[in-house]
A = this chain, B = another copy of it.
Amino acid sequence: MKKKEIIFRLLNQRTQQMILYTTFSYYAYMFEGYLKKSDSNLEKIQSVLVAIGGNEDKEKGLNILKHTVFLTNKKEPYIELITTASSMPKESGASYIAAFEKIGVKNVKIIDIRTREQTKNPEYVERLKKADVIFFTGGDQLKITSILGGTPVLETIKSRYFNENCIIAGTSAGASAMSETMIYEGESSEALCKGKVQLTSGIGLVKNVVIDSHFIQRGRFSRLMDIVTTNPGNIGLGLGEDTGVVIRQGYLLESIGNGLVVIFDGQHIKYTNIFNIQIGEAIAVENVCVHTLVKGHGYNMLTRKYITPSETGGCEH
């Protein structure tokens, strides 16, 4: 053991990093095999996620809300709005009720849970079992996870997502909260300094991805560069405003709306200083792949392949 240590210390920094990376890559490869096996469950997912980057049009074209309704394949869909993330739940709820009414959807109700105590109300579970669309509004994603985490309300939503055929939509905080790992804090201007982006567990509808919203408008590229450098096992998914992705089978993305979706893929990272620096120091990284998607373009999160409109057939209806 001591001999090994001595040899390791004799090697220069670059060689050490190559060894660490080779080891990491080996485990990543093993894990990928495991992932693909375990993800054979993904194909069983019939439900569809709609993750929206915030500030979607509620006045004129209403493209994203229309598309969400279209996905239900129902003439008179029933929508439950969860306004837990919002600091102004009444105003937020009312704006969605008005917007959905404009596109002919009248059966829209609000579940405004403000405390964990309120999650015990059995009426909410009953309503969530019947909704065609469960829609998380924006606000603070930590409210969604800290108030709903581990409650029958959230378990009902997850059970419906994984075992039935429904639509779960979320905008801004509602989109960020969807993944297993979720950003809840971190100034864009401070990101890419070790430890400055704060993560926690999301509600866990989709894995191996971290979702960020208001992405172009708030210049959040550095947050997702940071995320995929810290763990290239996650894809970084940056959603612009009035823009979203439809996620089918838990891994197939298709872009909708008028703006940009940005994808960060760290699987080809060749070098980083991240394990040699202190908290607060700047992160060097070589070779993060970045893609942008616009309406009709897609991305396969399992194979990490870009999909052009001629391959998706477009998402227009």
Contacts and interface: CB of A to CB of B under 8 A. Distances in A.
A135 B317 CA distance: 57
Contacts of A134: none
Interface in A258-317: 258-260, 270-271, 273, 281-295, 297, 306, 308-311
Interface string A218-260: 1111100100000000000000000000000000000000111
A92 interface: no
A73 B189 CA distance: 34
Given A189-B216, A271-B308, A282-B292, 12 more contacts: A14-B310, A192-B260, A216-B222, A258-B282, A260-B282, A260-B283, A270-B306, A285-B291, A286-B291, A286-B306, A286-B308, A288-B290
A2 to B, nearest CB: 25
Interface string A187-222: 011011000000000000000000000001111111
A38 interface: no
A285 B289 contact: no
Contacts of A258: 282
Given A13-B310, A189-B217, A216-B222, A290 B290 contact: yes
Q: How large is the interface on A (under 10, 10 to 19, 20 to 34, 35 or more residues)?
A: 35 or more
Contacts of A306: 270-271, 286-287
Q: Lowest 4 A-B CB distances belong to which pairs?
A: A219-B219, A221-B221, A286-B306, A282-B294
A12 interface: yes
Given A258-B282, A271-B306, A306-B271, A14 B290 contact: no
Nearest to A14: B310
Given A308-B14, A310-B14, A273 B289 contact: no
A304 to B, nearest CB: 11
Nearest to A287: B289
Most buried by B among A14, A188, A284: A284
A80 to B, nearest CB: 31
Contacts of A13: 309-310
Nearest to A218: B219
Contacts of A221: 219, 221-222
A222 B14 CA distance: 31
30 contacts: A12-B310, A13-B309, A13-B310, A14-B308, A14-B310, A14-B311, A188-B219, A189-B217, A189-B219, A191-B216, A192-B216, A192-B292, A218-B219, A258-B282, A271-B306, A271-B308, A273-B297, A281-B294, A282-B292, A283-B294, A284-B297, A285-B291, A285-B292, A286-B308, A287-B289, A287-B290, A287-B291, A288-B290, A289-B289, A289-B290
